[in-house]
Amino acid sequence: MQVQQGAQVKEHELINAKGQLNALHQEANPRLKHNAVLKRAKAKHQLKPGDDVRVKSYGQIGTLVKARGHHQWEVQMGMLKMAIDEADLEQVTQQEKRASQPKAPRKRPVRTIQTRQTSARLDLRGKRYEAAMSELDQFIDHALLNNLTSVTIVHGKGTGALRKGTQEYLRSNRRVKSFEFATPSNGGDGATIVFF
């Protein structure tokens, strides 16, 4: 049936043409029902929640969360949840999923390097408060890395600002078991002994 440009197509001719087209689809070769390639392709589109799928348009692998309306699925890709058309989805095998996941980096043993000689004594006398607190923090870290069981911090008596700051820091540090002032012969309340 040829239709010239500008000519009117009658409704019954259009219906007949559609009928012939539908008949062609129904007369498909019955052997195609048993075709393995077609079966695999069809299986890729039998989706259910929890399936791993590739979103073709994004090239990403995600997981089906739930069906959303006719031919749409909610897909979780990383932190994103998106509504994706079923035609844009393809099921992924476990092997493909494993291949697409980034490999965990090999764990290497941690080695600590002593960066300075750590003595069991820190003298903060004459230092400004901020600098003294920073040095105290580093000193405690080095003492712990060197497995010292106790250290002495000399803060002096002076105005008491360094003594108060030292003791506040020690109270807030979870790794410190206890602390106390030194004996009178070792500095009294001008020094604090710290136990880990």
Residue 52 has pLDDT above 80, yes or no: yes
**What is the Cα–Cα distance from 147 to 157, expressed in whole angstroms?**
29
Contact between 64 and 53 (Cβ < 8 Å): yes
Percent of the chain at pLDDT exceeding 90: 0
Percent of the chain at pLDDT exceeding 70: 65
Mean predicted lDDT score pLDDT of the chain: 76
CA distances from 77 to 15, 80, 98 (A): 45, 5, 15
**What is the Cα–Cα distance from 166 to 179, expressed in whole angstroms?**
10
Residue 127 has pLDDT above 60, yes or no: yes
| Dihedral angle of Cα 155, 158, 162, 163, to the nearest 10 degrees | 70
Show the beta-strand stretches assigned E in the chain.
Answer: 52-55, 60-67, 72-77, 80-85, 89-91, 121-123, 150-154, 178-181, 191-195
Residue 26 has pLDDT above 60, yes or no: no
Q: How confident is the model over 5-32, as a mean pLDDT?
A: 62
Q: Which of 66, 91, 65 is nearest to 79 (CA)?
A: 65
- Residues 108-119 have pLDDT tens digits of 665 545 544 556
Q: Which of 154, 162, 163 is nearest to 191 (CA)?
A: 154
Higher pLDDT, 167 or 28: 167
Residue 73 has pLDDT above 70, yes or no: yes
Higher pLDDT, 46 or 189: 189
Higher pLDDT, 97 or 113: 97
Residue 154 has pLDDT above 80, yes or no: yes
Q: How confident is the model over 61-78, as a mean pLDDT?
A: 84
pLDDT at 105: 62
Question: What structural domains and CATH numbers belong to the chain?
Answer: 47-101 (2.30.30.30), 121-195 (3.30.1370.110)
Residue 30 has pLDDT above 80, yes or no: no
